[in-house]
Structures are given as C-alpha cells and as structure tokens.
Amino acid sequence: MLSYQIVPGQRLVFVDLAKQLKVSRTPVNNALGILAQEGYLDFVPNQGYSVHKITKKEAEDLYEIREVLEVGFIGPAIRQMTEKTLQKVEQCKIAYEKSISTHVTRKMFILDTEFHLAILAMTGNDLLTRRYEELCRKIFLRFRTEDLVMGRIGEIRNEHQQLFEAIRIRDVELAKQRVQEHHRHSKKNLFPIIFASK
C-alpha cells in the first residue's frame, strides 16, 4: 500500500498474495483480517478482500480528529519542548523540503507526517503519537497522493516553516492558528482531487 503496488478498490486474492510472499495461506489470511479490522481493507462474504476506498465523510472525520489532536496538544508540546526535541522537528521539516522534486511522491506524505509527529512527540505521550500516525496513514494510504498538484507542495513547505517558527518562539496561540490554517488549506486542496468524481 505504501508503494502503491495495491490501490484503493483493488480486490486482493490471498492465494496469490501467499505465492508472491512465499508463505502459507494462513498467515496471509490472518494479516488480511487484521488489516480489515483496522479499516485498510473491506471484506465481502464470498467475494473476499479489497483495498478500502475512503469516503468524503470518513476523510472529513479523520481530518477533524487530526486537527483536534494537534491543536489540543500543541500547548503541552511547546511547554515541554527542549532544544533536542526542537532540533528533531527542524530535521523533519528539512527532510520534507529535501524530498521536493518535480512531482509529488508518497514519500512526501510520509515525511509530512513525520514532521507533525515530531511536534506531538514533544509531549512525551507515546500513545498520542501512535494514534496520530495511524490517522495519517488512514488518510494518505487510501488515495493517489500523486494526483496532488506541485503548487500545493510549495505551500506546505511554507506552512511548515511558519508553524516551526511559532513553536520555536514558544507562541502557543500562533502555533494553534498555524495548525488550523494548515489543515484548512490541506482539505481545500486535497478533497477536490480525492473526490473529483463523487
């Protein structure tokens, strides 16, 4: 799913997957069941598994939860920030910037997630960061991230920089504002692409 070898809506045949992975059918069937429980796959009796296609309502719900988590925890993150954790955030920001080329890649979305995770990680709440990472995966694994226009990538870079600066100067209210703007712009640009035919 990360490398887009299987795509949203694609039917999965566990016998074929077992052959491809060179393992028996049982662990593959068990793994598919787990992925279905986590919402990455859909299971239809007598038809099997297919990769889940995100709905607009689901995307809106996921984005809402993601924003609430970030806005709610940005204050504690800043208050517990150290020079070391701030450097980690900056390293993730730079890694995203270095990934920018002539076209959008799935790697950019992974690095974008890592930037936001580094901010939340400053709270010291491991459960929070794991849940946030799961939310992000449930968003970007379910559509063709490559369909995003390059212009938005430059905007993301600038928004990351503005958010980083607000965190660096320990301005909680400004950081909250930057997070909210970042999410609003992300939805405004992504949703017309993801749900163009809906």
List domains and CATH numbers for the chain: 11-51 (1.10.10.10), 56-194 (1.20.120.530)
With tokens 């099997």, the residue in question is 48
Could you tell me the CA-to-CA distances from 152 to 33, 39, 126, 149 in Å, in that order? 36, 28, 30, 6
The Cα 160–Cα 86 span in angstroms is 13
The answer, as to whether pTM is greater than 0.85, is no
Please give the Cα distance from 75 to 172 (Å, whole number). 5
- Read off the pLDDT of residues 119-160 as tens digits, 9 standing for 90 and up: 999 999 999 999 999 888 888 777 666 666 667 788 999 999
* pLDDT over 70 percentage in the chain: 93
pLDDT value at 198 more than 50: no
Q: What is the pLDDT of residue 175?
A: 98
- For the chain, the average pLDDT equals 88
